[in-house]
Structures are given as C-alpha cells and as structure tokens.
C-alpha cells in the first residue's frame, strides 16, 4: 500500500515475494513499473486508492508505507520544516487510520500487517498503532527482535516497534528517522 517510489516493493520481490504494488498516483506507479521491469522483477502494479481498493484480499502480508509528514528525513531534506504545517499531522493521522483499517480487510487471518512511516511524530507512529489495536481487537502486536535488526537493540521501543532517530548510528553519519510496527490479524 502506497508503494511509490518502489524501493520496498523491489526488496520484497528480490526476497521472492509475489508483490502487488498499490499507489493512487499513476505517474509515480508508472515509474515503479519501469523500475521493476528494468530490475526484471515481476510485480503487479495497481493504480488505486489503497484505502478503497478491494480487488483482492487474503494477502499473507500487507506492507503499508503510510503517507506522512516525513519529519524523519529532515536531516537530508531541511525544507520539510517549511513545507509541512502542524495541521498536516492531524490530517495524515486520519488518512493513516483509514489505510490501517483497509489493510486489516486485505490481510488473511494469521497474516501480517507491517506499518511504517518516515515521521518522527508519535501521532503518525506509535499512536496510530495504539489506536488500531483499540479499533481492531483481532489485531496483536508482534514485537521485532534485536536479531531481526542485526543486534541494533537501540532501534527498538519497549513495545518492540522499530524507531530510528537521526542520532542513531552517529559514528556512521546518522540515519533518518523511521518507525515500523508489525501486527498480526488473529482469526
């Protein structure tokens, strides 16, 4: 869900996954399709609003790369501070909730929802997951383990979500802010 520009779709395809890439922007999804063709990956690209798309369901995994304020990229894109308005957080949080609800409908019982954003705002990360767990009693968090992050336990929250900050890995030049949570839909 929200697949453009396609990096995560390419990683999934490289790992052997059968990928359906959804994005509402035809222009951006055309670029994804071109890149997948160039990389010789078989990825089905669908132009659609992921919050409304119901062409298929019962996916094993739904990766929701949610639209966000992108505040986690501010070290590389300082213009984010001037392009975003504090009201964007509320608007995007509502969009993120709708996309999470759609992901719940698309994933099979026992399937996984991976939610991620490049935002530092708690309203776009942990608060969205807490709200989703309240709205959907059939969802449960599946904590990420340090071994899944090559032992980088400083990137894990108490709940087991991934939270990177620009201050992390400072000896390597730092990294972008990023948030990810893994949920399972229970049957």
Exposed / middle / buried, residue 112 (Cβ in 10 Å: 0-12, 13-18, 19+): middle
Q: What is the CA radius of gyration of the chain?
A: 16
3 contact partners, CB below 8 Å, separation of at least 6: 9, 21, 22, 23, 29, 32, 45, 65
Residue 116 a catalytic site member = no
Given the residues 2, 68, 116, 118, select the one marked as catalytic. 118
Kindly give the interhelix angle for 86-106 and 126-135, rounded to the nearest 10 degrees: 40
- Residues marked active site are found at 118
């Amino acid at each position: 869900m929200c697949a453009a520009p396609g990096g995560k779709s390419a990683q999934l395809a490289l790992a052997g996954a059968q990928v359906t890439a959804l994005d509402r922007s035809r222009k951006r999804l055309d670029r994804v399709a071109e890149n997948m063709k160039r990389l010789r990956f078989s990825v089905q690209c669908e132009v659609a609003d992921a919050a409304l798309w119901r062409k298929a369901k019962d996916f094993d995994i739904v990766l929701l790369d949610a639209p966000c304020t992108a505040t986690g990229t501010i070290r590389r894109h300082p213009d984010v501070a001037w392009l975003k308005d504090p009201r964007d957080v509320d608007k995007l949080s509502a969009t993120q909730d709708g996309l999470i609800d759609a992901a719940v409908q698309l994933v099979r019982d026992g399937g996984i929802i991976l939610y991620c954003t490049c935002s530092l705002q708690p309203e776009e990360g942990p608060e969205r997951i807490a709200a989703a767990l309240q709205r959907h009693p059939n969802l449960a968090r599946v904590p990420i383990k340090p071994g899944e992050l090559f032992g980088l336990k400083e990137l894990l929250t108490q709940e087991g979500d991934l939270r990177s900050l620009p201050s992390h890995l400072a000896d390597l030049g730092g990294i972008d802010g990023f948030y990810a949570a893994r949920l399972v839909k229970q049957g």
